Amino acid sequence: MEVMENNISAKVTPYGVLYKNSNQSEQVYNGKNLPPYHWKESMATVELKARGEHEFIYLPSSDIEIEKALMRLGVLYLQDCETSIDSHELPDRVLEMIPEKTNQIERLDILNKVSKRFKEMGEDRLYFEKLMNHVNPRTIDEILSLAESMYEFELFDGMKDLG
């Protein structure tokens, strides 16, 4: 309250009181492309870059959301963009299993499928990571299959194979 009371430049707006503080202001919205904004639970944020501009898509994502991002960038195809993972909540081990030579479309499709599975797991993600350590899947397809059948397994901590 003291900051507002001692600030002679405060302005009342329909959205609240606007006042200048000691923080440096910076422009984060250019009128077209929004900065990353985590407004819903997402498993990964992918940045698309084209023509000096960027868009973010939040995985899992629908095809329509991806198409809208491409339209805002002014390109028709994902191949016309440079893609990179901005942030993620997926195990690094899963991301490392995506083959290096995978093209951008396949890579985004794989990330979207994996993100959808992990989001569906909810709080069972930790259980799944333990299960992955026990089963040791070697490919993305094996991870997706394991995720589909994870509830058919039962893990017991502290038990060891003597053989």
pLDDT in tens, 12-33: 888 887 777 777 878 777 777 7
pLDDT in tens, 68-118: 999 999 999 999 999 999 999 999 999 999 988 889 899 999 999 999 999
Q: Strand 82-88 and strand 11-13: pairing?
A: unpaired
Alpha helices in the chain, H assignment, sequence order: 2-5, 63-73, 92-96, 104-121, 125-135, 140-148
Please state whether the peptide bond connecting residue 60 to the residue before it is cis, i.e. omega within 30 degrees of 0: yes
> What is this structure's pTM?
0.76
